[in-house]
């Protein structure tokens, strides 16, 4: 569900250079996944963990500050 929203969001923003676009895209992907984690904690927990070390680090930091997720 979030993938189609994300692709639609970036479809119109191809004016940036490729490197800059990629870095901004990575930041947006991470922030959107964290946002989705907050909204759909139970369903997305395992999936988000599989997306990489950055996401798992964010989750562990969130656990540290806000208790058990």
Of the pLDDT bands very low, low, confident and very high (cuts 50, 70, 90), residue 12 is: very low
In a domain, 33, yes or no: no
14 in helix, strand or coil? coil
In a domain, 68, yes or no: yes
Q: pLDDT value at position 29?
A: 66
Maximum C-alpha span of the chain: 41
Q: What gap in Å lies between CA 23 and CA 9, rounded to an integer?
A: 15
What are the pLDDT digits (tens) for 14-25?
A: 444 555 555 666
In a domain, 55, yes or no: yes
Number of separate domains in the chain: 1
Instruction: State the average pLDDT over residues 1-19.
Output: 47
Domain span at residue 53? 41-69
In a domain, 64, yes or no: yes
Report residue 40 as tokens. Answer: 């759909």
Report residue 17 as tokens. Answer: 């250079």
């Amino acid at each position: 569900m979030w993938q189609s929203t994300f692709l639609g969001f970036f479809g119109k923003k191809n004016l940036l250079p490729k490197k800059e676009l990629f870095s901004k895209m990575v930041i947006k992907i991470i922030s959107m996944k964290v946002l989705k984690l907050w909204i759909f904690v139970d369903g997305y927990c395992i999936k988000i963990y599989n997306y990489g070390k950055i996401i798992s680090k964010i989750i562990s930091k969130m656990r540290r500050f806000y208790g058990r997720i």
